[in-house]
A and B are shown apart, each in its own frame.
Chain A
Amino acid sequence: MTVARSVHLGLDLSDAGAHPEAWRTTGSEAHRLFDPERLRELVDTAQRATLDFVLFDDSFALHTSRNTTLRGRLDAALVSARLAPRSTGIGLVATVDTTHTEPFHVAKALQTIDHVSHGRAAWQVAWSTTEEVASAFGRKPAQDEADAVAEADEAVDVVRKLWDSWEDDAEIRDVATGRFVDRGKIHRIDHEGVRFVVKGSSITPRSPQGRPPVVVRTSSPASVALAAHRADVVRITATDRGDAAAQRAELRAAAAAVGRDPDTLRVLVDVFVVLGGTEPAAQERLALLDALAGAARRPAGYAHVGTAADLARTVEDWTATGAADGFVLRPAALHTDVDGIADEVVPLLRAAGVFRDAYPGTTLRDTLGLARPASVYASASASAIA
């Protein structure tokens, strides 16, 4: 069955789950936390459920803003690349910092994941504001959020230009003239901005999606502006449906104000998911997790502590009423809640006719219903020829 317009569901596969003590619960296989096969099994499940994407958080620091006893994290971009050859259909969202990285490296890393996955890469744009991360690099002092987001904004701009620097048909392999590429279709970006001067072009040919989708989490007015300006997918935290609806309306208006079609924006609400056969059973699971932590611990924003049927109803209700285009599901404990999402929540949404049962195409853009953008340089060279 195909649905006219599917809701969009992402899945956060960071750590052992969104609850800080998830690694301590039965079945979490704490010793396999850094085993890529553990992640591959989770991706298989997410793919069986035809979710839009899986997502990996990242940070250069061991402790930053992570109120958990769990320690250690692998580079999210390389994790995405590792998972690409053994998966199909599902999007792979890697979080990559912009404060202490080189846009040139970031651009080719994401392009390469896109090549390796045949068009399923996406980039969650991150920025660092802590002294802890600044000290790890030792190149500049810690920046406040407004400053770091401004830098992220310019980094995304540079990265996108690099993604566009090769036109799709630059490689010609013209044996007669001995030319491998049409160099008129490979462009220097000559970016001279406030924070970066980058000559370009990318060393990597344009990737299957042209531009892998850009994901931005909003947490402040500055990040809302960044999302409206640059994001394809926006992650918001909302307390309830009304709050989500208001934020989505604000984002769409802000996008329109900068000349974008608001329908090119996918606004997804973060939801902390604790599933149980009954609502009391789910509450009991959460209480157990909180007891391990010694206090109530959950991410900011909306939490669903209840049955699969109730979560399916919430998803249906919020998307049908225009409060959201979908959700980023943040399972409290991956080893339990991912199965519940795939085996219970998704079948209910499919039965209700609001969620796909097959991927509509091969790329994440296809799944998100986002058109593949032409290179901004393509028209320039076409008109130069004319």
Chain B
Amino acid sequence: MSARTPRKQVHLGAHFPGVNSTTVWSDPASGSQIDFASFEHLARKAEDARLDFFFLAEGLRLREHKGEIFDLDVVGRPDTLPVLAALAAVTDRLGLVGTINTTFNEPWEIARQFATLDVLSGGRAAWNLVTSSDAFTGANFRRGGFLPYEQRYERAAELVEVARALWDSWDDDAVLGDAASGAFLRDGAVRDVEHVGPHFQVRGTFPTPRGPQGHPVLFQAGDSGPGRDFAAATADVVFSMHSTFEDGQAFYQDVKGRLAALGRTEESLKILPATTVVLGDTPQDAADRARHVRRQQVSGPGAIAFLEQVWGVDLTSYDPEGPLPDVEPDVDNADITRGRVRHVKDPRPVVAQWRARAEAEGLSIRDLVIAVTTRGGFVGTATQVADDIDRAVQEDASDGFILVPHLTPHGLDDVLDQVVPLLQERGSFRTEYTGPTLRDHLGLDRPVAASRRTAHLDQQPVG
């Protein structure tokens, strides 16, 4: 065998199943979405396979459909950060990534929670930063739906700026612990922070030590123009939805292309699309399994509810195994479903297109919904999927993937057992962790300790 040329390394995360139709709860193998044992299983399994991280999303209001709680998908999830803190006790190296909304949190509290998680996990914390502005979610919070849509990234950027100032306000070696002299902190190693901006006025001495990573790793998922700019300027990892090869390459080039102007290297930002994997013993077997999973994901009532989101009217009198509804959509009822992103602005062209397709291909309502909601995902034998993942990374369609299982908690077992070893064999994926922190796993630089930077004007030593 010739000397191996260094290969670009694949990064992989394990996504805990969420509360949308990707997660199949009706399967007899589906376990609890709330028992800690489910989280522990996926995390331990991911760490055994040397994955980069475990990923947990958050929810701040139960989804509603036609004015009632949407009951066809999994409902109910835990608070993100306590689960990650608990997982820190049962794993040693695995990164712990959690989604936290910037709109309904204050920088002092959120910076403190992530600093704590980073300390408690020995440097494995990451924050998937999302924004929202909707009054529907705001109804659970003190300020209500206070934020204009166009300011959501502005607030997020300022929140991150304040959080970073707070994390930097403690030097890495601030804790001296000199019992003889009674100096617990090194002189000048903890500085007051004062920030005055359009969204935040924050002043004080931060109470929590800097974590081993300096700053937790920052994930960001925005896909709009402002979202991509924000990611390029601020994030360490982009949680992307562009999982197909061509789409992935275009997104990768676009976002990485924004970095040079910002003085960043391409390596300093990883792009990780979310994706699904269905394995089979043969290509045909995998395709059959994938079809079965898709039918589980799109139940009859689920298909009707999906059409209702587009039509804006009640369609429960229609047979999901029959033809598409013959009524016209209600263009003014965009709020029929709340608590999730609505992708369709004007439903009429969509309805016309779907009718034509259903007629041409002889599709029932359920068939059509399966067809129009199937995107990306790897389907094949373990060797095929390893090939596809490796190719996507080597040819710059991504830096790796966030694997989203359809079953809780065993949904990734086969991928971790069968595909990861193949990636390891070809030298594209680590066989052992090389460092203790998530920054080490992702090949990200550690932010320079504050004391070694030019002192920030608004940071004063504690008197």
Contacts and interface: CB of A to CB of B under 8 A. Distances in A.
Contact of B205 (A61, A81, A183): A61
A101 B71 CA distance: 30
Interface residues of B, number: 69
A115 B36 contact: yes
B201 interface: yes
Interface in A132-155: 132-133, 135-139
A86 B85 CA distance: 12
Contacts of B262: none
B156 to A, nearest CB: 17
Interface string A100-132: 111011001101110110100000000000001
A23 B200 CA distance: 36
A138 B190 contact: no
Contacts of B61: 199, 203
Residue among A34, A85, A136 with max Cβ neighbours from chain B (10 Å): A136
Interface string A59-86: 1111100000111111101111111111
B321 to A, nearest CB: 14
Contacts of B236: none
B301 interface: yes
Contacts of B185: 71-72
B181 to A, nearest CB: 9
Contacts of B120: 36, 74, 78-79, 82
B457 interface: no
Contacts of B105: 102, 105
Interface string B390-431: 000000000000000000000000000000000000000000
Interface of A: 21, 23-25, 28, 30-31, 33-34, 36, 40, 59-63, 69-75, 77-86, 100-102, 104-105, 108-109, 111-113, 115-116, 118, 132-133, 135-139, 166, 170-171, 173, 175, 177-183, 186, 196-201, 203-205, 292
11 contacts: A72-B207, A72-B209, A75-B208, A79-B120, A82-B86, A100-B106, A116-B36, A136-B202, A186-B75, A199-B61, A204-B79
Given A75-B112, A79-B120, A34 B175 contact: yes
A138 B199 CA distance: 10
B76 A203 contact: yes
A28 B179 contact: yes
B318 interface: no
Contacts of B106: 100, 137, 139
A198 B89 contact: no
B77 A70 contact: no
B72 interface: yes
B82 A81 contact: yes
B160 interface: no
Interface of B: 25-26, 34-36, 40, 59-62, 68-69, 71-79, 81-83, 85-86, 88-90, 104-106, 108-109, 112-113, 116-117, 119-120, 139-142, 144, 170, 175, 177, 179-180, 182-185, 190, 200-209, 299-302
A297 to B, nearest CB: 13
A39 to B, nearest CB: 10
B441 to A, nearest CB: 20
Given A21-B182, A75-B112, A180-B73, 9 more contacts: A75-B113, A85-B86, A86-B89, A102-B140, A109-B81, A138-B201, A138-B203, A183-B68, A186-B75
Nearest to B143: A139
Nearest to B203: A135
A101 B141 CA distance: 10
Contacts of A180: 25, 71-75
Task: List the 7 closest A-B pairs by CB distance, nearest first.
Answer: A30-B177, A138-B201, A81-B82, A81-B85, A199-B139, A75-B116, A112-B79
Contact of B82 (A40, A113, A186): A113
A169 B355 CA distance: 41
Given A116-B36, A204-B77, A177 B301 contact: yes
Given A31-B177, A180-B74, A203-B61, A102 B104 contact: yes
B72 A72 contact: no
A78 B82 contact: yes
A205 B35 CA distance: 10
A108 B140 CA distance: 12
Contact of B119 (A24, A74, A113, A115): A74
Contacts of B77: 203-204
A137 B200 CA distance: 8
B209 A34 contact: yes
Nearest to A179: B71
Contact of B179 (A24, A78, A83): A24
A203 B26 contact: no
B307 to A, nearest CB: 15
A71 B76 contact: no
Contact of B182 (A69, A175, A177): A69
Contact of B60 (A36, A78, A104, A179): A104
B78 A112 contact: yes
A69 B187 CA distance: 12
A357 to B, nearest CB: 27
Contacts of B300: 178
Contacts of A61: 204-205, 207
Contacts of A179: 71-72, 301
Contacts of B117: 78
A131 to B, nearest CB: 10
